Amino acid sequence: MVRTLLAFGCATVLAACTVADGAPANPDFADEAALAAGQSVGPPKDCLTMRDIDRTKVVSDRVVDFMMKNHDVYRSTLAISCANLRAYGRFTYRTTVSRLCSSDVITVVDTSGHIGTTCGLGPFQRIDVPRSYH
Is 7 part of a structural domain of the chain?
A: no
pLDDT in tens, 87-112: 999 999 988 889 999 999 999 999 99
Q: Is residue 52 part of a domain?
A: yes
108: β partners:
91
Q: How many domains does the chain have?
A: 1
The answer to whether residue 13 is domain-embedded is no
Examine residue 88 and state whether it is found in any structural domain, yes or no.
Answer: yes
In a domain, 2, yes or no: no
Q: Is residue 17 part of a domain?
A: no
- Give the integer Cα–Cα distance in Å for 29 and 33: 6
Flag whether pLDDT at 127 surpasses 60: yes
In a domain, 86, yes or no: yes
Residues 25-52 have pLDDT tens digits of 444 444 445 454 678 888 999 999 999 9
Instruction: Determine the Cα–Cα distance for residues 72 and 107; give it in Å rounded to an integer.
Output: 24
Domain of residue 59, residue span: 27-124
Question: Backbone phi, then psi, for 60, in 5-degree steps?
Answer: -160, -175
Do 48 and 126 meet the contact criterion of CB atoms below 8 Å apart?
no
pTM exceeds 0.75, yes or no:
no
